[in-house]
Amino acid sequence: MQCSELESNLFPRLAKKTCLLGGALMVFLIGGCGGSTTKQASTTTSSPQTYFAPFVAGTTLTGATLGDPLTYTIDDTAGTFSQTAYGLSNTPGSQVLNAGVLSVGERGLRNLSMETYYVSNGNVNAAYTAEAYTPPESAFAVELPDQTGGLVQLHGQPVAPLVAATQCPSFTTTQTYQFLTIPAPLSTTVSNNNNFVSWDPTAETAYGSVDISSSGMNINQYTLSGANLGASSVTGACGSTFYGNITVVPGQLVITDPGNGQRVPAQARIGIGSNSGLLVEDNAAWATGGESNVLGAGTGAVGLPRPSSDITSAAVGAQYLGFIYGAGKKNLYPLASNSSGWSSHIASFSYSSASSGCASFAAQTGALSNGIYGGDYTNDDPTTYASSNCDFAIDLGATQTSNGLYTNATVWIGASYAGNIAKTTYNFSAVAIAGQINKKSAIFVLGVDSTQPWAIYLLQSN
């Protein structure tokens, strides 16, 4: 095996090492150039932490290229955060787009105050100008222990999963992950193109599993109804990037400068938490050159290690903080708001049907097989309310398809939920995955009602 340095303007000032074997890229997830397959030792990460995040449909950023991943830096010690984009049309390299301060609230919730945003005057290589939010705008984040991953929702933007890809993962044995698509707006009769990504749950990936080893990835994918889309095998390359140590598939690391009108070739970008095992994919769904779906469809995927045993009881018995995202429908124009009707709300789940605040809602849902109740906060303000509303329910169903995978899940939406356009209580079928990441329970859910896709991301809180 031979190791070499590859030069790339995509990642200036950062070294990239790619291992070569027989003149080809070394297959997926070999850490560094030594070819070691020793699993990484767990380390404690100190603030600040920079997270890789996919570009979720519904995100609108002044001056940012649609579809390029973002990073979020959260410093719990200094009490600050920022959102950064790369390869902007007018500025090469990195550019902070939003910044502010944070405080830690009840159950570990990060209360973010967006104080500054940065705008371009449109001139190439011109410095961005800082402007103040007056008044500051509220946003929220949930972090895993040791800052290994989490969720973030800035004001006016959809929730995005976060992963601290601090190392290129390596495995002594095959690791199986289960994943869900991060949905884009529901497909319409308008054909897909590079600027108007959407998701068709009847024909495109909703969930699946991937076996990751030092020799590559073996993937199985399914539509929301369970139709098998077949198996595939891919390889990629992991290296140091703006976004952390992420893996790109098909491994096109040598590219031109992504700024000044140049674009990155379509390639999926995958980050795996070094300690947590949380998996996040940005599938380049907006990139010039077309989509590069590897795991999920829509705008990417989020995944959990498959549990070795049944964890249903622990999953439904935990307290959670998270977000509920309705992806809306796809529009043609304008480009800046190419999805309509989408919503994203911070939520808390921890109630049982016997909870005093859930009695009336539980009467409408009936008995749940393996259920948990929760919902949004009034006016999206968890800082002034002791508990969230009880206007949502997730029923994982009576049986598992495999450990941690529930393909017969049901979601109930209450009439009072802020994102409920129908304003009546109803339910729809869904698929869910559950697992443990960094010794905390997680539940991710994906489903579609008659109007739009829904995604729910919950992480166990303090």
From first to last of its 462 residues, the chain has per-residue pLDDT tens of: 333 322 222 222 222 333 322 223 334 443 333 333 333 434 445 679 999 999 888 887 765 555 678 999 999 999 999 999 887 767 777 889 999 999 999 889 999 999 999 988 777 777 889 999 999 999 999 999 889 999 999 999 999 999 999 988 777 789 999 999 999 888 765 444 445 678 899 999 999 999 998 888 999 999 999 999 999 998 888 888 889 999 888 765 534 344 444 455 567 899 999 777 899 999 876 544 445 678 999 889 999 999 999 999 999 999 999 999 999 877 554 444 455 678 999 999 987 766 767 888 999 999 999 999 999 999 999 988 888 899 999 999 999 999 999 999 999 999 999 999 889 999 999 999 999 998 899 999 999 999 899 999 999 997
Strands 405-413, 426-437: pairing is antiparallel
What pTM value is reported for the model? 0.87
What residues does each domain of the chain span? Answer: 312-460
Q: Angle at CA 231, nearest 5°, toward 451 and 434?
A: 55
Q: What is the model's pLDDT at position 298?
A: 86
SS3 content of the chain, % helix, strand, coil (to 5): 5, 45, 50
Q: What is the model's pLDDT at position 38?
A: 33
Number of helical H runs and strand E runs in the chain: 2, 30
Q: What is the model's pLDDT at position 33?
A: 33
Task: Provide the token pair at 176.
Answer: 């199986």
Q: What is the model's pLDDT at position 36?
A: 32
Q: What is the model's pLDDT at position 238?
A: 86
Q: Which of 266, 169, 265, 259 is nearest to 212 (CA)?
A: 169
User: Residue 151: in which H helix or E strand, if any?
Assistant: strand 149-153
Q: Which of 202, 199, 218 is nearest to 210 (CA)?
A: 218
Residue 106: phi and psi, rounded to 5, are -60, 140
- CA 168, CA 157: separation in Å to the nearest integer? 29
Cβ within 8 Å of residue 152, ≥6 positions away: 51, 53, 72, 112, 139, 140, 141, 142, 159, 160, 162
Q: Which of 323, 302, 305, 310 is nearest to 436 (CA)?
A: 305
